[in-house]
Structures are given as C-alpha cells and as structure tokens.
Amino acid sequence: MSYRIRLLGLVGVVLCVGGDLFACGDKFLVAGRGTRYQRPKNARAASVLIYANPSSGFPAALGKVPVDSVLKREGHRSTTVETLDQLAAILAGGRFDVVLAASSVVAAVESLLGSTPEAPVVVAFCVKPGGQVPDASSKAPCVKAPPKEGSLLEAIDKAVLKHDKDLRKARASG
C-alpha cells in the first residue's frame, strides 16, 4: 500500500510540473529582470502647486515640457494658478507638499507661505535673463530652465523628503 501511495504521488508531481520542465525559453525566472526603476523606492506621490504667472517668464521657461502630464505619470497631483490672489486662496484652502515657481517670484511665494512646518517647500526655476542663478537669500532649490523631466522629478522628490522631514521634526518637538 505504501508503495502505491508513493508511486501515485510521484506521478501526480510529474503531471503537475512536467509541462513546465519541457517548456521553451528561459528556465530561470528572475523577478524584475530588465526593469529599471527611475524613482527611488521611498518616493511618494505629492500634491504640487504650480504658480505659472505669465509675467514671471515661468510658462516660457518650461519650453515644451508638459509638466502636468509628467507629474501625473509619476503619480503626483498638480494644480496650476496664474495670479498671486489665486495662489493665496488655494494655499489657504488646501494642503500642498511642493510649490513650483519662477526664481523671480520665490520671495513673494515664501512670504505667503510663512515659516510653519506644514508649509509646502518651494522649488524655483532659474528663469532670470542670461541664465543667472537667483540670489542666495532664497532657501528654495533651483532647477535649471528649461527643465529635463528627470531633474524636475528629482527636485520634487527632494522637496517632498524635506517637507516630510520638517513635519516629523515639528511633531517630535511639539
């Protein structure tokens, strides 16, 4: 009886995996082979507010980069405003992680935000004439304009990490 059970078990195993043993192709499946991850694993989706004031040169500095679609493809949520009044209203009503703005208007944006830990991090685009870097009085990281998708996403990921770090620090001390 024991012999029959062993034989039946062996036949069952051969029938279950036998087809796989003679299959064509690579026998060693490696999970993730050929996959390239562009973003770090700890990156999270962010709420991004884009301050695209036409007089600041921001829309022209973006060139042909479709910022909204690039952010959406990476899982970020974006909202675009064009005036300082719209910016103030939407900041009062919503919670954002990052604000994208031209380097020429960063001081005005930072004065609207204040210095609370919940305030979003400002990412500036260097759009001054002649490609000059903005003045050092601003704490905002600067992205060269016109931006490449990779540098834009990297700046946003760094800003999100800084925002989360500031929030954790505020919660730990308060």
142-167 tens-digit pLDDT = 777 777 788 888 888 888 888 888 88
For residue 27, name the pLDDT band (cuts at 50, 70, 90): low
Question: DSSP characters for 13-51?
Answer: HHHHHHHHHT-SS-SS--TTTT----S-TT----EEEEE
> Does residue 38 register a pLDDT over 60?
no
Average pLDDT over every residue of 19-23: 56
**Is the residue at 11 inside a domain?**
no
Q: Which domain holds residue 168?
A: 47-173
Strand partners, 50: 80, 100
90-113 tens-digit pLDDT = 988 878 889 988 888 888 888 888
* Tokens, residue 90: 């939407």
Strand partners, 143: 125
Longest dimension (CA), the chain: 90
For residue 7, name the pLDDT band (cuts at 50, 70, 90): confident
* Number of domains the chain contains: 1
Average pLDDT over every residue of 17-25: 58
Cα(172)–Cα(174) distance, rounded to whole angstroms? 6
**Is the residue at 75 inside a domain?**
yes
Strand partners, 121: 98
**Is the residue at 34 inside a domain?**
no
**Is the residue at 36 inside a domain?**
no
Helix axes 106-113, 84-93, angle to 10 degrees: 30
Mean pLDDT across the chain, nearest whole number? 77
> Does residue 132 register a pLDDT over 60?
no
What is the structure's pLDDT at 55?
82
For position 125, which CATH number holds?
3.40.50.2300
**Is the residue at 137 inside a domain?**
yes
> Does residue 36 register a pLDDT over 80?
no
**Is the residue at 76 inside a domain?**
yes
> Does residue 20 register a pLDDT over 60?
no
pLDDT above 90: percentage of residues in the chain: 3
- The model's pTM: 0.67
* Tokens, residue 49: 């507010």
Give Cβ neighbours of residue 50 (< 8 Å, ≥ 6 apart). Answer: 67, 68, 78, 79, 80, 81, 99, 100, 101
What is the structure's pLDDT at 21?
56
What is the structure's pLDDT at 18?
59
